[in-house]
Chain A
Amino acid sequence: MPAGESSAWEVAAGVADPELPDLTLEDLGVLRSVDVGPDGEVAVVLTPTYSGCPALEVMRQDVIAALRSAGHQSVRVDFQLQPAWTTDLMGPRGRERLAEMRIAPPPPAGSGPLLQVSLKCPQCGSLRTRETSHFGSTSCKSLWRCLACGEPFEHFKALY
């Protein structure tokens, strides 16, 4: 790995997601690669969670700004669709952060579409919950309600 590559990765990896600011792009699993060229240009590849995710442009700008302030003058950010992002790319840390934000995380990696059991309420922990809408405030979330404590909550929905 050429000099500067690991630190460039760390800088890009630490950029916060614009819509879920407690998660980094790395937590979310959308940071695909960071390469530093021989001329010092940093090439970052991101993958979108959803095709129309409106946060993409903000992500691009935030990554460029973060790398510039870390001393990398020349930065390029590209988006790569394939292999398509799935919630399996979200690491354990990302899931923990979501739970801390009171957003029910997607099922664990590799569990597949069959394991869609009831979600645990992120407020009171009850399993007596139901989906009120498959579509939430952002493409990646659905709306749920806890039948035990009555609180509505968001779920970062599984995408396989």
Chain B
Amino acid sequence: MTTMASTAINQDIFEYSLRLGDDALVLSHRLSEWAAHAPEFEEDVALANLALDLLGQARTLLSYAGEVEGLGRTEDDLAYWRDDRQYRNLLLVEQPNGDFAMTITRHLLFSTYQLSLYDALAPCSDVTLAGVAAKGAKEARYHRDHAALWTLRLGDGTAESHGRMDRALQALWPFTAELFEGDQILERLAIEGVAPRSESLRPGWDLFIRETLEAATLEVPATTTWRSGGRRGVHSEHLGHLLAEMQHLHRSHPDARW
């Protein structure tokens, strides 16, 4: 019985590590697309720094997923040899970069969520997940600060920058409900003390986002059409294109090493 129980919880931890690892990996890739294209040099460096933090988190999380799964899959196997239906990231992080306002808005919405999540996960019982969270929370705090400063500057900037931020918010807001969706996996992990319930992250997220948007003279969109499915592998069309680019080299040269 003990073995069966621990196998079941391992399956849940595997799924959970994939979710968090895929969020970090996919968003890291998106941000890296800005390299050499950012509106100013400092932002080029900043976005690459953010991408690097997320990539580091993804590496530990995917390595751990492979370890918990017990089938010998490495971080590279999981990153490069899964198709979109096997990816577990939020739809929000796979959305295209769009203009700079879109990228900043996406990062504000995500990093505020990730910081709440990591803060809540750090005292949990799984040593590896708690370790990634404690480390990642320090990074997510920088990320959120960066996104919030730009949100203020652009939202409360010119008519052009305000309009772009407004359009970005309208476009991305439908993806935010997914951040706080629960399911049986999360419920079991919460009961075991491994992970926080996602709905518990909502009040802190709401407060910070609403205060930031208000200070930036932006309005919270009145959306009722929500999009979700990423945690079950049902993605928007954008993820397939992202993976094609990210995985192409590795799949063309299997087992190539640096």
A contacts, CB < 8 Å to B: 48, 50-54, 80-86, 132-137, 139, 143, 159-160
B112, CB-defined interface residue at 8 Å: no
Query: Is the Cβ of A134 less than 8 Å from the Cβ of B145?
Result: yes
B contacts, CB < 8 Å to A: 42-43, 45-46, 48-50, 52-57, 59-60, 127-128, 130-132, 134-136, 138-139, 142, 145-146
Query: Is the Cβ of A135 less than 8 Å from the Cβ of B138?
Result: no
Query: Is the Cβ of A134 less than 8 Å from the Cβ of B46?
Result: yes
- Is chain A's interface secondary structure helix, strand, loop, or mixed overall? loop
Known A-B contacts A133-B42, A136-B45; the reply to A81 vs B60 at CB < 8 A is yes
Query: Is the Cβ of B52 less than 8 Å from the Cβ of A83?
Result: no
Shortest CB-to-CB span from B193 to chain A, Å, is 17
Query: Is the Cβ of B135 less than 8 Å from the Cβ of A48?
Result: yes
Shortest CB-to-CB span from B79 to chain A, Å, is 14
Query: Is the Cβ of B135 less than 8 Å from the Cβ of A82?
Result: yes
Q: How far is the CA of A139 from the CA of B53 in the complex (A)?
A: 8
- Chain B residues lying within 8 Å of A84, measured Cβ to Cβ, are 131, 134-135, 138
- Chain B residues lying within 8 Å of A132, measured Cβ to Cβ, are 42
Q: How far is the CA of A83 from the CA of B56 in the complex (A)?
A: 17
- Chain A residues lying within 8 Å of B57, measured Cβ to Cβ, are 51-52
Known A-B contacts A81-B60, A82-B130; the reply to A51 vs B135 at CB < 8 A is yes
Query: Is the Cβ of B56 less than 8 Å from the Cβ of A50?
Result: yes
Shortest CB-to-CB span from A98 to chain B, Å, is 19
- Chain A residues lying within 8 Å of B43, measured Cβ to Cβ, are 133
- Chain B residues lying within 8 Å of A52, measured Cβ to Cβ, are 52-57, 59
Q: How far is the CA of A52 from the CA of B58 in the complex (A)?
A: 9
- Chain B residues lying within 8 Å of A85, measured Cβ to Cβ, are 135
Q: Which of B50, B53, B55, B56 has the largest number of chain A CB atoms within 10 A?
A: B56
Q: Which of B45, B57, B134 has the largest number of chain A CB atoms within 10 A?
A: B45
Query: Is the Cβ of A134 less than 8 Å from the Cβ of B142?
Result: yes
Q: How far is the CA of A139 from the CA of B48 in the complex (A)?
A: 9
- Chain B residues lying within 8 Å of A80, measured Cβ to Cβ, are 131
